Amino acid sequence: MNKPMPDKSVHTVWHRATVTRQRREKKNAHKSVVIWFTGLSGSGKSTLAHAVEEQLHQRGLNTFVLDGDNVRHGLCSDLGFSDQDRKENIRRISETAKLLLEAGVITLTAFISPFKAERSIARSLMPYGDFIEIHCFCPLPVCEQRDVKGLYKKARLGEIKDFTGISSPYEEPENPDLRIDTNLLTLEQSVQQVISLLQARNFLSAAE
């Protein structure tokens, strides 16, 4: 069981840095943004996020991927998969992504993030327009056929509890910034859709 969050100290005061996000963006010659990939396990979130990062990195841009499995090896290693722990997992990731946004980094997150409320909170933490929600859509039967990690099989056998799509709900985004049908498009086509969106919103150009 998680320990209750301690109350914020009245003696904690926000320190305003002289090196601002705007100055970092100017140095980087591009703007920062949070790109939030959401979808079922096996929908291609991590694969797409890392493929997009590779393209951006080759262009000389500053990037970082926050991957669901990787984060649970460290930052969120104390969390399970109950609804409460899933919410805390997304809360921590959201705050981390916010810090990276301020650092001038293009941050890509790859998390199932099954609940609309938590994704909405993540968006609300970022300045307007700096959060891009991308729904990696793939029908559940196709995800199960892929079963990249063998998790669906274990979930069907009851070996994994609270598994999204099987014994725990996934609330699809109603109005994502971009929906990619990963079961129909190639990885290259999917990457290009993301890059095109970033270009259209001027995130890949020099910050003014």
Give the side-chain half-sphere CA count within 13 A for 11. 0
**Which of the four pLDDT bands, split at 50, 70 and 90, describes residue 85?**
confident
- Catalytic positions, written as ranges: 113
- CA 134 to chain CA centroid, nearest Å: 9
pLDDT number for residue 208: 45
pLDDT number for residue 8: 59
Give me the helix-helix angle, 83-102 and 21-28, nearest 10°: 70
The β-bridge partners of 154 are none
Percentage of residues in the chain having pLDDT higher than 70 = 92
The domain over range 21-199 is classified in CATH as 3.40.50.300:
yes
Q: Given a cut of 90, is residue 53 above it in pLDDT?
A: yes
202, two tokens: 């001027």
pTM of the complete model beyond 0.85: yes
pLDDT in tens, 130-176: 999 999 999 999 999 998 889 999 999 999 988 999 998 999 999 99
pLDDT in tens, 24-42: 999 999 999 999 999 999 9
**The residue type at 181:** D
